Chains A and B, each alone.
Chain A
Amino acid sequence: MQFDVKVKDAVKSFGNLKAVNKLSFDSVPGVNIILGPNGAGKSTLLRCIDGLYRLDNGSLKVMGVDPYTDNGIRTRMSYLSDNYALYDYLDVKSNLKFFGRLYKMNDRNTIERSREILKKLNALEYFDKKVYELSRGTKQKIALCRALLNKPDILLLDEPTAFLDANSSESIRKLLQEFSEEKKTIIWVTQKLDEVTRFNCRVAVINKGNIIKDSTTSGLYSTILRNSFVNIRLASPIKHEIAKRIPGFYSSNSREPNAIKIKIRKYSDINKALDYLIDKKAFVVSVDYIEPLIETLSWRNNGV
Protein backbone atom coordinates (compact mmCIF):
# COMPACT_ATOMS: atom_id res chain seq x y z
CA MET A 1 0.00 0.00 0.00
CA GLN A 2 1.16 3.49 -0.82
CA PHE A 3 1.25 5.94 2.02
CA ASP A 4 0.08 8.86 0.00
CA VAL A 5 -0.99 12.44 0.53
CA LYS A 6 -3.11 14.00 -2.20
CA VAL A 7 -3.84 17.70 -2.13
CA LYS A 8 -5.97 19.31 -4.84
CA ASP A 9 -6.68 23.00 -5.25
CA ALA A 10 -6.31 23.52 -1.50
CA VAL A 11 -7.09 26.96 -0.10
CA LYS A 12 -6.51 28.02 3.50
CA SER A 13 -6.89 31.66 4.50
CA PHE A 14 -6.33 33.60 7.70
CA GLY A 15 -8.38 36.76 7.35
CA ASN A 16 -7.33 38.32 4.07
CA LEU A 17 -4.13 36.30 3.84
CA LYS A 18 -4.29 33.25 1.63
CA ALA A 19 -1.60 31.09 3.24
CA VAL A 20 -2.34 28.21 0.88
CA ASN A 21 -3.72 29.25 -2.46
CA LYS A 22 -5.12 26.62 -4.86
CA LEU A 23 -2.21 24.34 -4.11
CA SER A 24 -2.02 20.84 -5.55
CA PHE A 25 0.52 18.28 -4.43
CA ASP A 26 0.78 14.48 -4.54
CA SER A 27 3.40 12.86 -2.35
CA VAL A 28 5.80 10.17 -3.56
CA PRO A 29 7.26 7.39 -1.38
CA GLY A 30 10.46 8.47 0.37
CA VAL A 31 11.46 12.04 1.14
CA ASN A 32 9.39 14.91 -0.25
CA ILE A 33 10.98 18.25 0.51
CA ILE A 34 8.86 21.37 0.32
CA LEU A 35 11.22 24.31 0.03
CA GLY A 36 10.18 27.91 0.39
CA PRO A 37 10.91 31.21 2.09
CA ASN A 38 9.30 32.48 5.30
CA GLY A 39 5.59 33.02 4.88
CA ALA A 40 5.35 30.87 1.77
CA GLY A 41 2.68 28.66 3.33
CA LYS A 42 4.84 25.62 4.15
CA SER A 43 3.79 25.18 7.78
CA THR A 44 0.14 25.87 7.02
CA LEU A 45 0.19 23.21 4.33
CA LEU A 46 1.75 20.72 6.74
CA ARG A 47 -0.81 21.51 9.43
CA CYS A 48 -3.60 21.01 6.91
CA ILE A 49 -2.12 17.63 5.98
CA ASP A 50 -1.98 16.69 9.65
CA GLY A 51 -5.62 17.70 10.06
CA LEU A 52 -4.89 20.55 12.45
CA TYR A 53 -6.45 23.08 10.08
CA ARG A 54 -9.59 22.65 8.04
CA LEU A 55 -9.28 23.65 4.39
CA ASP A 56 -11.45 26.54 3.22
CA ASN A 57 -11.63 25.01 -0.24
CA GLY A 58 -10.24 22.13 -2.26
CA SER A 59 -9.61 18.58 -1.13
CA LEU A 60 -6.97 16.86 0.94
CA LYS A 61 -6.73 13.12 1.47
CA VAL A 62 -4.22 11.18 3.50
CA MET A 63 -4.33 7.52 2.57
CA GLY A 64 -7.80 8.18 1.20
CA VAL A 65 -9.35 9.96 4.19
CA ASP A 66 -9.83 13.55 5.33
CA PRO A 67 -7.36 14.07 8.20
CA TYR A 68 -9.38 16.92 9.73
CA THR A 69 -12.40 14.75 10.42
CA ASP A 70 -10.82 11.30 10.66
CA ASN A 71 -8.75 11.28 13.85
CA GLY A 72 -7.83 7.63 13.33
CA ILE A 73 -5.50 8.51 10.46
CA ARG A 74 -3.11 10.06 12.96
CA THR A 75 -2.31 6.61 14.34
CA ARG A 76 -0.41 6.16 11.06
CA MET A 77 0.92 9.67 10.67
CA SER A 78 3.15 11.84 12.87
CA TYR A 79 4.06 15.48 12.95
CA LEU A 80 7.20 17.18 14.24
CA SER A 81 7.80 20.91 14.17
CA ASP A 82 10.85 23.03 14.98
CA ASN A 83 9.26 23.57 18.38
CA TYR A 84 9.90 20.39 20.37
CA ALA A 85 6.48 20.66 22.10
CA LEU A 86 7.26 18.54 25.14
CA TYR A 87 6.05 19.01 28.71
CA ASP A 88 8.96 20.71 30.45
CA TYR A 89 8.07 19.75 34.02
CA LEU A 90 7.75 16.05 33.22
CA ASP A 91 10.69 13.75 32.65
CA VAL A 92 11.43 12.30 29.24
CA LYS A 93 10.00 8.90 30.17
CA SER A 94 6.68 10.40 31.38
CA ASN A 95 6.41 12.53 28.25
CA LEU A 96 6.89 9.52 25.98
CA LYS A 97 4.60 7.29 28.05
CA PHE A 98 1.88 9.93 27.81
CA PHE A 99 2.08 10.14 24.03
CA GLY A 100 2.30 6.33 23.82
CA ARG A 101 -0.98 6.09 25.74
CA LEU A 102 -2.64 8.42 23.24
CA TYR A 103 -1.51 5.98 20.53
CA LYS A 104 -3.01 3.18 22.66
CA MET A 105 0.41 1.65 23.26
CA ASN A 106 1.02 -0.01 26.60
CA ASP A 107 3.73 1.57 28.74
CA ARG A 108 6.13 -1.36 28.35
CA ASN A 109 6.04 -1.18 24.56
CA THR A 110 6.41 2.60 24.67
CA ILE A 111 9.49 2.37 26.88
CA GLU A 112 11.08 -0.36 24.73
CA ARG A 113 10.43 1.55 21.51
CA SER A 114 11.63 4.83 23.04
CA ARG A 115 14.87 3.28 24.24
CA GLU A 116 15.48 1.82 20.80
CA ILE A 117 15.01 5.18 19.07
CA LEU A 118 16.86 7.26 21.66
CA LYS A 119 19.82 4.88 21.44
CA LYS A 120 20.06 5.56 17.71
CA LEU A 121 19.90 9.29 18.44
CA ASN A 122 22.55 9.08 21.20
CA ALA A 123 20.03 10.44 23.71
CA LEU A 124 19.23 7.39 25.84
CA GLU A 125 21.10 8.82 28.83
CA TYR A 126 18.45 11.55 29.16
CA PHE A 127 15.54 9.13 29.57
CA ASP A 128 14.96 9.95 33.24
CA LYS A 129 15.77 13.68 33.07
CA LYS A 130 13.22 16.46 33.29
CA VAL A 131 12.72 18.08 29.88
CA TYR A 132 13.62 21.57 31.13
CA GLU A 133 17.07 20.27 32.06
CA LEU A 134 17.89 19.33 28.47
CA SER A 135 19.53 21.28 25.66
CA ARG A 136 17.50 22.38 22.66
CA GLY A 137 19.10 19.72 20.48
CA THR A 138 18.33 16.93 22.95
CA LYS A 139 14.73 18.13 23.32
CA GLN A 140 14.35 17.94 19.56
CA LYS A 141 15.73 14.38 19.56
CA ILE A 142 13.16 13.44 22.21
CA ALA A 143 10.46 15.08 20.09
CA LEU A 144 11.58 13.03 17.09
CA CYS A 145 11.42 9.92 19.27
CA ARG A 146 7.84 10.89 20.17
CA ALA A 147 6.99 11.31 16.48
CA LEU A 148 8.35 7.86 15.67
CA LEU A 149 6.74 6.06 18.63
CA ASN A 150 3.70 4.92 16.68
CA LYS A 151 5.82 3.65 13.74
CA PRO A 152 4.09 6.08 11.37
CA ASP A 153 3.73 5.46 7.66
CA ILE A 154 3.74 9.18 6.96
CA LEU A 155 6.01 11.60 8.79
CA LEU A 156 5.42 15.34 8.57
CA LEU A 157 8.42 17.48 9.49
CA ASP A 158 8.38 21.24 9.87
CA GLU A 159 12.00 22.42 9.89
CA PRO A 160 12.97 19.84 12.53
CA THR A 161 16.65 20.82 12.46
CA ALA A 162 16.13 24.60 12.34
CA PHE A 163 17.78 25.42 15.68
CA LEU A 164 20.12 22.48 16.05
CA ASP A 165 23.88 22.15 16.00
CA ALA A 166 25.56 20.17 13.23
CA ASN A 167 25.87 16.93 15.24
CA SER A 168 22.26 16.87 16.39
CA SER A 169 21.05 17.72 12.88
CA GLU A 170 23.16 14.96 11.40
CA SER A 171 21.91 12.28 13.81
CA ILE A 172 18.30 13.29 13.11
CA ARG A 173 18.89 13.26 9.35
CA LYS A 174 20.53 9.83 9.57
CA LEU A 175 17.53 8.35 11.38
CA LEU A 176 15.12 9.94 8.91
CA GLN A 177 17.14 8.60 6.01
CA GLU A 178 16.72 5.10 7.47
CA PHE A 179 13.00 5.75 7.88
CA SER A 180 12.60 6.87 4.26
CA GLU A 181 14.40 3.77 2.99
CA GLU A 182 11.47 1.69 4.29
CA LYS A 183 9.46 3.27 1.44
CA LYS A 184 7.43 5.28 3.88
CA THR A 185 6.59 8.90 3.16
CA ILE A 186 8.32 11.92 4.65
CA ILE A 187 7.07 15.41 3.91
CA TRP A 188 9.75 17.79 5.10
CA VAL A 189 9.26 21.54 4.85
CA THR A 190 12.28 23.78 5.06
CA GLN A 191 13.68 27.10 3.95
CA LYS A 192 17.29 25.88 4.06
CA LEU A 193 18.76 24.90 0.72
CA ASP A 194 21.49 23.17 2.66
CA GLU A 195 18.87 20.73 3.99
CA VAL A 196 17.79 19.89 0.45
CA THR A 197 21.28 18.79 -0.55
CA ARG A 198 21.42 16.15 2.19
CA PHE A 199 18.89 13.97 0.42
CA ASN A 200 18.57 12.73 -3.12
CA CYS A 201 14.86 13.24 -3.33
CA ARG A 202 11.85 15.04 -4.71
CA VAL A 203 11.81 18.80 -4.07
CA ALA A 204 8.77 21.03 -4.46
CA VAL A 205 9.30 24.78 -4.25
CA ILE A 206 6.47 26.72 -2.64
CA ASN A 207 5.89 30.46 -2.76
CA LYS A 208 2.86 32.58 -1.93
CA GLY A 209 0.88 29.49 -1.04
CA ASN A 210 1.43 27.60 -4.24
CA ILE A 211 3.88 25.04 -5.63
CA ILE A 212 5.88 26.87 -8.30
CA LYS A 213 8.43 24.18 -9.09
CA ASP A 214 8.34 20.40 -8.73
CA SER A 215 11.76 18.88 -9.23
CA THR A 216 14.46 16.77 -7.59
CA THR A 217 17.55 17.66 -5.58
CA SER A 218 19.82 17.43 -8.63
CA GLY A 219 17.29 19.17 -10.87
CA LEU A 220 16.98 22.01 -8.43
CA TYR A 221 20.72 22.32 -8.02
CA SER A 222 21.36 22.60 -11.72
CA THR A 223 18.97 25.53 -11.64
CA ILE A 224 20.26 27.18 -8.50
CA LEU A 225 23.90 26.71 -9.34
CA ARG A 226 23.62 29.24 -12.11
CA ASN A 227 25.27 32.48 -11.08
CA SER A 228 26.26 31.33 -7.63
CA PHE A 229 29.56 31.29 -5.76
CA VAL A 230 32.05 28.74 -4.45
CA ASN A 231 34.83 29.32 -1.93
CA ILE A 232 38.08 27.46 -2.52
CA ARG A 233 40.60 27.24 0.31
CA LEU A 234 44.23 26.37 -0.32
CA ALA A 235 46.87 24.89 1.96
CA SER A 236 49.32 27.65 1.01
CA PRO A 237 48.95 30.97 -0.81
CA ILE A 238 49.33 31.30 -4.57
CA LYS A 239 50.45 34.26 -6.63
CA HIS A 240 47.81 36.82 -7.48
CA GLU A 241 48.50 36.41 -11.22
CA ILE A 242 47.73 32.71 -10.98
CA ALA A 243 44.60 33.34 -8.90
CA LYS A 244 43.26 35.89 -11.38
CA ARG A 245 43.39 33.32 -14.18
CA ILE A 246 41.23 30.74 -12.34
CA PRO A 247 38.13 30.17 -14.51
CA GLY A 248 35.30 32.20 -12.93
CA PHE A 249 37.66 34.08 -10.54
CA TYR A 250 35.61 36.61 -8.55
CA SER A 251 37.67 37.74 -5.54
CA SER A 252 40.43 36.67 -3.17
CA ASN A 253 41.40 37.35 0.42
CA SER A 254 44.79 39.01 -0.25
CA ARG A 255 47.45 39.76 -2.87
CA GLU A 256 48.82 36.27 -2.37
CA PRO A 257 45.57 34.49 -1.54
CA ASN A 258 44.83 31.16 0.10
CA ALA A 259 41.05 31.69 -0.14
CA ILE A 260 39.44 32.42 -3.47
CA LYS A 261 35.84 33.03 -4.42
CA ILE A 262 34.74 31.92 -7.88
CA LYS A 263 31.50 32.48 -9.71
CA ILE A 264 30.01 29.41 -11.39
CA ARG A 265 27.24 28.83 -13.87
CA LYS A 266 27.14 25.04 -13.80
CA TYR A 267 28.69 22.09 -11.93
CA SER A 268 31.52 21.65 -14.43
CA ASP A 269 32.85 25.16 -13.68
CA ILE A 270 34.01 23.89 -10.28
CA ASN A 271 35.97 21.07 -11.92
CA LYS A 272 37.57 23.50 -14.36
CA ALA A 273 38.74 25.73 -11.51
CA LEU A 274 40.12 22.79 -9.56
CA ASP A 275 41.87 21.34 -12.62
CA TYR A 276 43.55 24.71 -13.16
CA LEU A 277 44.70 24.97 -9.53
CA ILE A 278 46.03 21.42 -9.47
CA ASP A 279 47.86 22.14 -12.69
CA LYS A 280 49.48 25.15 -10.97
CA LYS A 281 50.64 22.91 -8.09
CA ALA A 282 48.21 24.46 -5.61
CA PHE A 283 46.90 22.26 -2.78
CA VAL A 284 43.14 22.50 -2.39
CA VAL A 285 41.97 22.06 1.22
CA SER A 286 38.23 22.56 0.70
CA VAL A 287 35.57 23.63 -1.75
CA ASP A 288 32.53 25.21 -0.12
CA TYR A 289 29.38 25.98 -2.00
CA ILE A 290 27.91 29.27 -0.75
CA GLU A 291 24.25 28.52 -0.18
CA PRO A 292 22.10 31.35 -1.48
CA LEU A 293 19.29 32.42 0.80
CA ILE A 294 16.01 31.07 -0.44
CA GLU A 295 14.53 34.58 -0.28
CA THR A 296 17.19 35.90 -2.69
CA LEU A 297 16.44 33.42 -5.46
CA SER A 298 14.39 34.57 -8.36
CA TRP A 299 12.86 31.36 -9.65
CA ARG A 300 11.56 32.90 -12.84
CA ASN A 301 14.93 34.31 -13.79
CA ASN A 302 16.41 30.89 -13.28
CA GLY A 303 14.11 29.47 -15.85
CA VAL A 304 11.70 27.90 -13.41
Chain B
Amino acid sequence: MEFEKSYAIAVKDMKEVFSSISIYGPMIGVPIFFSILLPILTFYVTIYAAPAIVARITQLNIIPSGLSGFGNISFMTYFSVSIMGPIFLTMPILTATVIAADSFAGEKERKTSEALLATPVRISELLYGKILASFIPTIFLTLGVFAIYGGITDALSLNAFGSIILPTIPWLMMIAVSPFLAIAGIGVVVLISSHVRGIKESQQISTLLILPVLVMPFISVLGIAALSFAFLLHLIIFLAIIDVVIIYVGVKSFRKESIL
Protein backbone atom coordinates (compact mmCIF):
# COMPACT_ATOMS: atom_id res chain seq x y z
CA MET B 1 0.00 0.00 0.00
CA GLU B 2 1.58 3.26 -1.14
CA PHE B 3 -0.26 6.27 0.22
CA GLU B 4 1.35 8.58 -2.40
CA LYS B 5 -0.69 6.87 -5.12
CA SER B 6 -3.93 7.20 -3.16
CA TYR B 7 -3.11 10.84 -2.56
CA ALA B 8 -2.39 11.39 -6.28
CA ILE B 9 -5.77 9.86 -7.15
CA ALA B 10 -7.53 12.01 -4.54
CA VAL B 11 -5.83 15.20 -5.78
CA LYS B 12 -6.71 14.36 -9.39
CA ASP B 13 -10.35 13.70 -8.53
CA MET B 14 -10.67 16.90 -6.51
CA LYS B 15 -9.06 18.88 -9.34
CA GLU B 16 -11.61 17.40 -11.71
CA VAL B 17 -14.53 18.28 -9.43
CA PHE B 18 -13.32 21.85 -8.92
CA SER B 19 -12.29 22.42 -12.53
CA SER B 20 -15.77 23.42 -13.63
CA ILE B 21 -18.27 25.60 -11.81
CA SER B 22 -21.08 23.60 -13.38
CA ILE B 23 -19.88 20.61 -11.34
CA TYR B 24 -18.99 22.19 -8.01
CA GLY B 25 -21.37 25.18 -8.17
CA PRO B 26 -24.61 23.39 -7.28
CA MET B 27 -22.79 21.04 -4.91
CA ILE B 28 -21.51 23.95 -2.82
CA GLY B 29 -24.15 26.55 -3.63
CA VAL B 30 -27.22 24.63 -2.48
CA PRO B 31 -25.93 23.76 1.03
CA ILE B 32 -24.62 27.30 1.53
CA PHE B 33 -27.96 28.73 0.38
CA PHE B 34 -29.81 26.57 2.91
CA SER B 35 -27.29 27.33 5.66
CA ILE B 36 -28.22 31.00 5.27
CA LEU B 37 -31.93 30.61 4.57
CA LEU B 38 -32.92 28.05 7.20
CA PRO B 39 -31.58 29.93 10.31
CA ILE B 40 -33.39 33.07 9.09
CA LEU B 41 -36.59 31.07 8.65
CA THR B 42 -36.07 29.50 12.07
CA PHE B 43 -35.75 32.96 13.56
CA TYR B 44 -38.96 34.22 11.94
CA VAL B 45 -40.80 31.05 12.94
CA THR B 46 -39.57 31.59 16.50
CA ILE B 47 -40.69 35.19 16.59
CA TYR B 48 -44.00 34.97 14.74
CA ALA B 49 -45.18 31.34 14.75
CA ALA B 50 -43.68 29.77 17.85
CA PRO B 51 -46.58 30.46 20.24
CA ALA B 52 -49.10 28.72 17.95
CA ILE B 53 -46.76 25.80 17.26
CA VAL B 54 -45.97 25.40 20.95
CA ALA B 55 -49.68 25.40 21.76
CA ARG B 56 -50.28 22.60 19.27
CA ILE B 57 -47.30 20.55 20.44
CA THR B 58 -48.43 21.01 24.04
CA GLN B 59 -51.84 19.56 23.12
CA LEU B 60 -50.09 16.52 21.66
CA ASN B 61 -48.24 16.11 24.96
CA ILE B 62 -44.97 15.26 23.21
CA ILE B 63 -42.79 18.15 24.30
CA PRO B 64 -39.31 16.88 25.08
CA SER B 65 -38.56 16.99 28.79
CA GLY B 66 -35.69 19.42 28.34
CA LEU B 67 -38.00 22.13 27.06
CA SER B 68 -40.07 22.80 30.12
CA GLY B 69 -40.17 26.56 29.70
CA PHE B 70 -40.49 26.53 25.97
CA GLY B 71 -40.21 30.26 25.57
CA ASN B 72 -38.98 31.88 22.43
CA ILE B 73 -35.25 31.33 23.01
CA SER B 74 -35.71 27.72 24.10
CA PHE B 75 -37.92 27.15 21.06
CA MET B 76 -35.21 28.57 18.81
CA THR B 77 -32.55 26.45 20.54
CA TYR B 78 -34.69 23.35 20.15
CA PHE B 79 -35.51 24.09 16.52
CA SER B 80 -31.91 25.04 15.61
CA VAL B 81 -30.39 21.91 17.13
CA SER B 82 -32.98 19.16 16.93
CA ILE B 83 -34.68 20.06 13.66
CA MET B 84 -32.08 21.99 11.70
CA GLY B 85 -29.12 19.89 12.89
CA PRO B 86 -30.28 16.62 11.27
CA ILE B 87 -31.28 18.52 8.14
CA PHE B 88 -27.76 19.87 7.87
CA LEU B 89 -26.42 16.39 8.57
CA THR B 90 -27.83 15.33 5.21
CA MET B 91 -25.29 17.67 3.56
CA PRO B 92 -22.25 15.43 4.11
CA ILE B 93 -24.16 12.47 2.72
CA LEU B 94 -25.38 14.35 -0.31
CA THR B 95 -21.99 15.91 -1.07
CA ALA B 96 -20.05 12.74 -0.42
CA THR B 97 -22.31 10.58 -2.52
CA VAL B 98 -22.40 13.05 -5.42
CA ILE B 99 -18.60 13.22 -5.58
CA ALA B 100 -18.14 9.52 -4.93
CA ALA B 101 -20.71 8.49 -7.55
CA ASP B 102 -18.99 10.68 -10.12
CA SER B 103 -15.63 9.43 -9.01
CA PHE B 104 -16.29 5.73 -9.48
CA ALA B 105 -19.14 5.43 -11.95
CA GLY B 106 -17.78 8.49 -13.78
CA GLU B 107 -14.48 6.71 -14.50
CA LYS B 108 -16.51 3.84 -15.87
CA GLU B 109 -18.82 6.08 -17.90
CA ARG B 110 -16.00 8.20 -19.38
CA LYS B 111 -13.93 5.06 -19.97
CA THR B 112 -10.94 6.48 -18.12
CA SER B 113 -10.85 3.55 -15.72
CA GLU B 114 -9.08 1.46 -18.35
CA ALA B 115 -6.08 3.81 -18.35
CA LEU B 116 -6.16 4.09 -14.57
CA LEU B 117 -6.19 0.32 -14.05
CA ALA B 118 -3.42 -0.10 -16.61
CA THR B 119 -1.04 1.60 -14.17
CA PRO B 120 0.58 -0.28 -11.27
CA VAL B 121 -2.04 0.97 -8.82
CA ARG B 122 -3.51 -1.54 -6.36
CA ILE B 123 -7.23 -1.83 -5.77
CA SER B 124 -6.80 -0.69 -2.16
CA GLU B 125 -4.78 2.38 -3.26
CA LEU B 126 -7.42 3.20 -5.83
CA LEU B 127 -10.29 2.86 -3.37
CA TYR B 128 -8.63 4.83 -0.59
CA GLY B 129 -7.76 7.57 -3.08
CA LYS B 130 -11.34 7.74 -4.27
CA ILE B 131 -12.71 7.73 -0.72
CA LEU B 132 -10.31 10.52 0.23
CA ALA B 133 -11.34 12.55 -2.81
CA SER B 134 -14.95 12.49 -1.66
CA PHE B 135 -14.22 12.78 2.04
CA ILE B 136 -12.00 15.90 2.11
CA PRO B 137 -14.37 18.29 0.27
CA THR B 138 -17.31 16.87 2.21
CA ILE B 139 -15.73 17.62 5.57
CA PHE B 140 -14.75 21.15 4.54
CA LEU B 141 -18.21 21.80 3.17
CA THR B 142 -19.91 20.40 6.27
CA LEU B 143 -17.76 22.51 8.59
CA GLY B 144 -18.46 25.55 6.43
CA VAL B 145 -22.20 24.93 6.40
CA PHE B 146 -22.36 24.39 10.18
CA ALA B 147 -20.23 27.51 10.73
CA ILE B 148 -22.53 29.66 8.57
CA TYR B 149 -25.70 28.22 10.05
CA GLY B 150 -24.32 28.53 13.60
CA GLY B 151 -23.03 32.04 12.98
CA ILE B 152 -26.30 33.32 11.54
CA THR B 153 -28.33 31.63 14.27
CA ASP B 154 -26.17 33.25 16.95
CA ALA B 155 -26.22 36.65 15.29
CA LEU B 156 -30.04 36.61 15.11
CA SER B 157 -30.37 35.22 18.63
CA LEU B 158 -27.98 37.79 20.06
CA ASN B 159 -29.90 40.56 18.36
CA ALA B 160 -33.34 39.33 19.47
CA PHE B 161 -32.68 37.71 22.87
CA GLY B 162 -29.36 39.22 23.92
CA SER B 163 -27.56 35.85 24.11
CA ILE B 164 -26.13 33.26 21.75
CA ILE B 165 -27.59 29.79 21.30
CA LEU B 166 -24.82 27.79 19.65
CA PRO B 167 -22.67 25.84 20.13
CA THR B 168 -24.37 23.35 22.37
CA ILE B 169 -22.90 19.94 23.15
CA PRO B 170 -25.44 18.04 20.96
CA TRP B 171 -24.79 20.52 18.14
CA LEU B 172 -21.02 19.91 18.36
CA MET B 173 -21.68 16.18 18.48
CA MET B 174 -23.64 16.48 15.26
CA ILE B 175 -20.57 17.98 13.61
CA ALA B 176 -18.61 15.04 14.97
CA VAL B 177 -21.17 12.64 13.44
CA SER B 178 -20.72 14.09 9.96
CA PRO B 179 -17.37 12.42 9.01
CA PHE B 180 -18.77 9.04 10.00
CA LEU B 181 -21.91 9.65 7.98
CA ALA B 182 -19.80 10.81 5.02
CA ILE B 183 -17.67 7.64 5.11
CA ALA B 184 -20.79 5.47 5.30
CA GLY B 185 -22.22 7.29 2.27
CA ILE B 186 -19.00 6.99 0.30
CA GLY B 187 -18.63 3.33 1.26
CA VAL B 188 -22.11 2.51 0.05
CA VAL B 189 -21.44 4.33 -3.23
CA VAL B 190 -18.25 2.28 -3.67
CA LEU B 191 -20.32 -0.87 -3.31
CA ILE B 192 -23.08 0.40 -5.60
CA SER B 193 -20.76 1.86 -8.26
CA SER B 194 -19.21 -1.47 -9.00
CA HIS B 195 -22.63 -2.89 -9.86
CA VAL B 196 -24.27 -0.11 -11.88
CA ARG B 197 -23.63 1.20 -15.36
CA GLY B 198 -23.34 4.93 -14.84
CA ILE B 199 -23.31 7.98 -12.61
CA LYS B 200 -27.07 8.55 -12.66
CA GLU B 201 -27.93 5.10 -11.34
CA SER B 202 -25.27 5.37 -8.71
CA GLN B 203 -26.48 8.79 -7.54
CA GLN B 204 -30.14 7.78 -7.57
CA ILE B 205 -29.53 4.80 -5.33
CA SER B 206 -27.07 6.51 -3.02
CA THR B 207 -29.31 9.50 -2.31
CA LEU B 208 -31.64 7.05 -0.53
CA LEU B 209 -29.06 7.17 2.25
CA ILE B 210 -30.37 10.50 3.45
CA LEU B 211 -33.71 8.97 4.44
CA PRO B 212 -32.52 7.56 7.80
CA VAL B 213 -31.01 10.94 8.68
CA LEU B 214 -34.23 12.75 7.84
CA VAL B 215 -35.99 10.52 10.37
CA MET B 216 -33.94 12.11 13.17
CA PRO B 217 -35.97 15.34 13.54
CA PHE B 218 -39.14 13.25 13.81
CA ILE B 219 -37.53 11.04 16.43
CA SER B 220 -36.86 14.20 18.39
CA VAL B 221 -40.24 15.89 17.81
CA LEU B 222 -42.19 12.74 18.62
CA GLY B 223 -40.17 12.28 21.80
CA ILE B 224 -38.90 8.81 20.83
CA ALA B 225 -35.36 9.90 21.60
CA ALA B 226 -33.73 13.21 22.39
CA LEU B 227 -30.75 14.19 20.28
CA SER B 228 -28.63 14.22 23.38
CA PHE B 229 -24.90 13.73 23.91
CA ALA B 230 -25.42 10.07 24.81
CA PHE B 231 -27.66 9.41 21.81
CA LEU B 232 -25.22 11.03 19.41
CA LEU B 233 -22.23 9.28 20.99
CA HIS B 234 -23.95 5.94 20.45
CA LEU B 235 -24.71 7.01 16.91
CA ILE B 236 -21.02 7.79 16.28
CA ILE B 237 -19.94 4.39 17.65
CA PHE B 238 -22.60 2.65 15.56
CA LEU B 239 -21.56 4.55 12.41
CA ALA B 240 -17.86 3.89 13.06
CA ILE B 241 -18.56 0.14 13.13
CA ILE B 242 -20.73 0.40 10.02
CA ASP B 243 -17.98 2.41 8.28
CA VAL B 244 -15.36 -0.23 8.98
CA VAL B 245 -17.66 -3.01 7.77
CA ILE B 246 -18.70 -1.14 4.60
CA ILE B 247 -15.12 -0.18 3.67
CA TYR B 248 -13.86 -3.69 4.38
CA VAL B 249 -16.59 -5.30 2.29
CA GLY B 250 -16.10 -2.63 -0.41
CA VAL B 251 -12.37 -3.29 -0.72
CA LYS B 252 -12.78 -7.06 -0.56
CA SER B 253 -15.63 -7.28 -3.03
CA PHE B 254 -14.30 -4.71 -5.52
CA ARG B 255 -13.16 -6.22 -8.81
CA LYS B 256 -11.32 -4.35 -11.53
CA GLU B 257 -13.70 -5.67 -14.16
CA SER B 258 -16.60 -3.92 -12.46
CA ILE B 259 -15.44 -0.43 -13.44
CA LEU B 260 -14.24 -1.28 -16.97
Residues of chain A having any CB pair with chain B under 8 Å: 47, 50-54, 71-75, 78-79, 81, 83, 85-90, 94, 98-99, 101-104, 143, 146
**Which one of A73, A87, A104, A146 has the greatest number of beta carbons of chain B within 10 Å?**
A87
Q: Is B12 an interface residue (CB 8 A)?
A: yes
Q: Which of A50, A53, A88 contacts B118 (CB 8 A)?
A: A50
B118 engages A104 (CB within 8 Å): no
B15 part of interface (Cβ distance < 8 Å): yes
Interface residue B120 (Cβ < 8 Å from any Cβ of A): yes
Q: Are A90 and B15 in contact (CB under 8 A)?
A: yes
Q: A52-B257, A98-B12 are in contact. Are A85 and B111 (CB under 8 A)?
A: yes
- Which residues of A have CB within 8 Å of B111? 83, 85
Looking across the interface, which residue of chain A has its beta carbon closest to that of B2? Answer: A104
In the complex, what residues of A have CB within 8 A of residue B116's CB? 85, 102
When C-beta atoms are compared, the residue in chain A nearest to B23 turns out to be A89
Number of residues in B with C-beta < 8 Å to the partner?
Answer: 27
B8 & A98 in contact (Cβ 8 Å cutoff) = yes
Q: Give the residues in chain B near A78, CB-CB below 8 Å.
A: 118
A71 contact set on B, CB distance < 8 A: 120-122
Q: Is B156 an interface residue (CB 8 A)?
A: no
Q: How far is the CB of B255 from chain A (nearest CB, A)?
A: 8
Residues of A within 8 A of B12 (CB): 87, 90, 94, 98
Residues in B with CB closer than 8 Å to A85 are 111-112, 114-116
Interface assignment of B159: CB less than 8 Å from any CB of chain A: no
CA–CA, A102 and B115, complex, Å:
11
CB distance from B79 to the nearest CB of A (A): 41
* Min CB–CB distance A149 → chain B (angstroms): 10
Binding site for A on B (CB under 8 A): 2, 4-5, 8-9, 11-12, 15-16, 19-20, 23, 110-112, 114-122, 256-257, 260
Cβ–Cβ < 8 Å partners of A90 in chain B? 12, 15-16, 19
Cross-chain contact A52 with B16 (CB below 8 angstroms): no
Known: A47-B260, A51-B256, A81-B114. 14 other contacts (CB 8 A): A52-B256, A71-B120, A72-B120, A74-B118, A74-B119, A74-B120, A89-B20, A90-B12, A94-B12, A99-B119, A101-B4, A101-B5, A102-B5, A102-B9
Once the chains bind, are B118 and A103 in contact (CB under 8 Å)? no
A residues in contact with B260, CB < 8 Å:
47, 52-53
A158 and chain B: residue at smallest CB distance: B114
CB-nearest residue of chain B relative to A79?
Answer: B118
A291-B121 Cα distance, complex, nearest whole Å: 41
CA distance A89 to B14 in the complex (A): 11
Contacting residues, chain B, for A72 (C-beta < 8 A): 120
Q: Which A residues lie within 8 Å of B121 (CB)?
A: 71, 102
A98 contacts across to B, CB distance below 8 A: 8, 11-12
A13 to chain B, nearest CB (A): 12
The answer to whether A103 touches B119, judged by C-beta atoms less than 8 angstroms apart, is yes
When the two chains form their complex, are residues B114 and A53 in contact, meaning their CB atoms are under 8 A apart? Answer: no
Indicate if the CB atoms of A102 and B8 lie closer than 8 Å. Answer: yes
Interchain CA distance A226-B28 in the complex, whole Å: 66
User: Would you call B110 and A88 a contact (CB within 8 A)?
Assistant: yes
Q: Which residue of the partner chain B has the closest CB to A72?
A: B120
Chain A residues lying within 8 Å of B119, measured Cβ to Cβ, are 74, 99, 102-103
- CB B253 to nearest CB in A, in angstroms, measures 14
Complex: how many Å from CA A47 to CA B115?
11
Cβ-defined contact, A89 with B114, below 8 A = no
13 A-B residue pairs with CB within 8 Å: A50-B118, A52-B117, A53-B256, A71-B121, A74-B118, A83-B114, A86-B115, A98-B11, A101-B5, A101-B8, A102-B9, A102-B119, A103-B119
Q: Determine the residue in chain A with the shortest Cβ distance to B13.
A: A87
CB distance from B78 to the nearest CB of A (A): 44
How far does the alpha carbon of A63 sit from the alpha carbon of B149 in the complex, in Å? Answer: 59
